[in-house]
Amino acid sequence: MIAISDEKVILRDFIESDIEKRIYWETIETEWQLWDAPWEYENLTKEEEEKNLTRYITKMRSWINKFDTMPDEEKRLGFQICTIDNVYIGWCNSYTIDDNFCYSESGTRCAIGIDIPETSQRGNGYAFHALCLFVDYLLKGGESEIYIQTWSGNERMISLADKLGFEECHRKNGIRSIRGRTYDGLSFRLNIEKYNLSKCTR
């Protein structure tokens, strides 16, 4: 199992004990769903929620099988986030987008995201440190451009992107309808010089 760390957080592979916490975040402590692609959670019926959870558990078990046999040198697309004293608090991931800034498995641009569902652990700088570690990992792995995508109402993510040295590079006006209001879709591109300066604040 691969793990990377600094003085505040550990990024590691998914393990079986994470499943219980993920189920808790999906069913009990769900505040994070108001911010991470909330349009995927709005207006779901109870039956749809239960089906989604069943599929999610199956997917998580496949992750365990995958990481059990995955060599440490093989590139990871994401990590689980723990505090330095090994409290599991969230995850970060990457995916590919195309030239129109849309998700695409055949896209050539790397975009990243992060979730800290554990509300009691927010405001401690964990997201900043986790994304610094993740960005460093991806840059060392050969990525030359890295993006963050969010929506214009997610002020915490916008602030985090700015703090890390990401700059807005694309905006899709009015594409998101969330809780009765319309928002823009935003894409930010990493400015390496600003990013390197931002790490001085760690």
Instruction: Encode pLDDT of 21-52 as tens digits.
Output: 999 999 999 999 999 998 888 888 989 999 99
Q: What is the pLDDT of residues 148-181, one digit of tens each?
A: 999 999 999 999 999 999 999 999 999 999 998 9
Strand partners, 5: 10
Q: With 60 as the cut, is the pLDDT of residue 201 above it?
A: no
Q: Buried (b) or exposed (e) across 78-99, using 16+ Cβ within 10 A?
A: bbbbbbeeeebbbbbebbebee
| pLDDT above 70 as % of the chain | 98
Spatial contact of 29 and 119, defined as CB atoms under 8 Å apart: yes
Q: Which domains are delineated in the chain?
A: 3-201 (3.40.630.30)
Q: How many CB atoms lie within 10 A of CB 121?
A: 16
Distance CA 118, CA 30 (A): 9
In 3D space, the residue among 149, 97, 116, 103 whose CA is nearest the CA of residue 11 turns out to be 116
Q: What is the pLDDT of residues 87-114, one digit of tens each?
A: 999 999 999 999 999 999 999 999 999 9
How much is the pLDDT for 58? 96
